[in-house]
Amino acid sequence: MKLKENNVESLLTAIIPIGNTGGNLELLYSWLPEASKYPISIIIVHDVLDNVTGPLLNDLREDFKVLNLTFIEGRFGCPGEARNAGLALAQTDWISFWDHDDKPILGSIFKSIYEATSEDEILIGEFTIYNSIHNSVKKILVPKPSFETIAMNPGVWRMVFKRSAIHDLRFTNLKMGEDQVFLSDIKLPDRRVKFIAGVFYEYTVGGNNQLTRDLSKLSNLELATKYIYGNTSKNLSNSLIYFNMHLIIRQQITLIKNKNMSLRFGALRFLVKLFLKPKSGLFWYNLRSLSLVLMNIKKFRLK
């Protein structure tokens, strides 16, 4: 049975984890009124971290009674486990994973869902970046959509998944890098993916509570690397091996660019080991992936 609102079947379930809001749900309030126009079910998962967010969510529940909203509350400790709690309740054909401090572009997302064929398993749209400090929106300039460019910006928030494609797959309990692990586990390049020439998502940067700003969580990227590399072998499809290696090398570049010297040296050591002592049959995959990642970095500059 699918979740329903006003006798209309929902086509999409959006799962939104909320932890520390800093007392601000402004971006949620900016797009939720528009949601009433679409067949959408929204599951808000409150990962209890403070005494401020709960009352704010109670107010939100009262303000948007017309929407098909479901609230879950618990101590999950990371976005992945909070998403898993939402996944357990999702009943619609399509599922998305959004953050509370960003803005989904509902019109573009639903246009793509309406136009999707029965064969499509994953829809991947474009995204823009909103800088909350400078109050400006910039579109990411990317080459022709490919799995290599997805590995450069692997956020699941700009993707819409068929529930049947996810099946019983779940997120890890990592506090950073869980998106990359999920895309590797779902074997993204082996799926029936449709790239959409339209913006699905406005990603916000500059917020004080943004998880990606928390240097203490960066060590989880090392764990994500070990997980993905541990599951990568020459027995996988060529496209999946290349994708995994792109994810791994992109993670090392992120670690090298951070301010923690220990993580920097750890990433450099891993890259050296990747080429001096590669897993059986993976050397040329590693080399090609590194060269493509280095070439593509310049193409992701913002204008």
Encoded amino acid at 33, one letter: P
N residues, the chain:
303
pLDDT bin (cut points 50, 70, 90) of residue 40 is very high
82 and 149 part of one domain: yes
198 and 228 part of one domain: no
Q: Tell me, what's the pLDDT at 213?
A: 52
Domain boundary among 210, 235, 261: 210
238 and 149 part of one domain: no
Q: Rounded to the nearest 5 degrees, what angle is found at the Cα of 82, between the Cα atoms of 217 and 259?
A: 10
Encoded amino acid at 284, one letter: W
Which phi and psi (to 5°) does residue 126 adopt?
Answer: -85, 175
Q: Tell me, what's the pLDDT at 209?
A: 54
pLDDT bin (cut points 50, 70, 90) of residue 169 is very high
More confident residue, 23 or 135: 23
pLDDT bin (cut points 50, 70, 90) of residue 300 is very low
- In 3D, which of 167, 126, 133 has the Cα closest to residue 149? 126
- CATH code at position 17: 3.90.550.10
Residue 19 has pLDDT above 80, yes or no: yes
Residue 142 CB neighbours (<10 A): 16
Q: What is the pLDDT of residues 103-157, one digit of tens each?
A: 999 999 999 999 999 999 999 999 999 887 766 676 665 557 889 889 888 999 9
Q: Provide the whole-model pTM.
A: 0.89
206 and 234 part of one domain: no
168 and 221 part of one domain: no
**Residue 147 in contact with residue 243, Cβ under 8 Å?**
yes
50 and 173 part of one domain: yes
Domain boundary among 176, 210, 244: 210
Rounded CA-CA distance 270/276 in Å is: 10
The residue range of the domain holding 72 is 4-210
Residue 75 has pLDDT above 90, yes or no: yes
187 and 53 part of one domain: yes
Number of domains in the chain: 2
Contacts of 85 (CB under 8 A, 6+ apart): 45, 72, 74, 76
Rounded CA-CA distance 94/281 in Å is: 37
Q: Phi-psi bin for 177: left (phi > 0), alpha (psi -120 to 50), beta?
A: left
Residue 63 has pLDDT above 90, yes or no: yes
Encoded amino acid at 166, one letter: I
Rounded CA-CA distance 112/124 in Å is: 9
The rounded mean pLDDT for the chain is 86
198 and 221 part of one domain: no
- In 3D, which of 226, 248, 244, 225 has the Cα closest to residue 235? 244
Q: What is the pLDDT of residues 227-238, one digit of tens each?
A: 999 888 878 898
Encoded amino acid at 13, one letter: T
41 and 120 part of one domain: yes
CB-count exposure of residue 211 (10 Å: 0-12, 13-18, 19+): middle
66 and 179 part of one domain: yes
200 and 271 part of one domain: no
- In 3D, which of 71, 72, 47 has the Cα closest to residue 61? 71
Q: Tell me, what's the pLDDT at 111?
A: 98
Q: What is the pLDDT of residues 172-198, one digit of tens each?
A: 999 999 999 999 999 999 999 999 999
Residue 102 has pLDDT above 90, yes or no: yes
175 and 241 part of one domain: no
- In 3D, which of 169, 15, 207, 172 has the Cα closest to residue 104? 15
Q: What is the pLDDT of residues 255-294, one digit of tens each?
A: 888 888 898 899 888 888 877 777 767 777 677 766 666 6
Question: What is the H or E stretch that residue 5 is in?
Answer: strand 4-5
Which phi and psi (to 5°) does residue 173 adopt?
Answer: -95, 20
Q: Tell me, what's the pLDDT at 302?
A: 34
Helix, strand, coil abundance in the chain, percent, nearest 5: 45, 20, 35
Q: Helix H segments across the chain?
A: 26-35, 53-63, 79-87, 106-115, 147-152, 163-166, 178-185, 219-230, 238-257, 261-276, 283-297
pLDDT bin (cut points 50, 70, 90) of residue 171 is very high
Q: Provide, rounded to the nearest whole percent, the portion of the chain with pLDDT above 70.
A: 84
Domain boundary among 210, 237, 266: 210
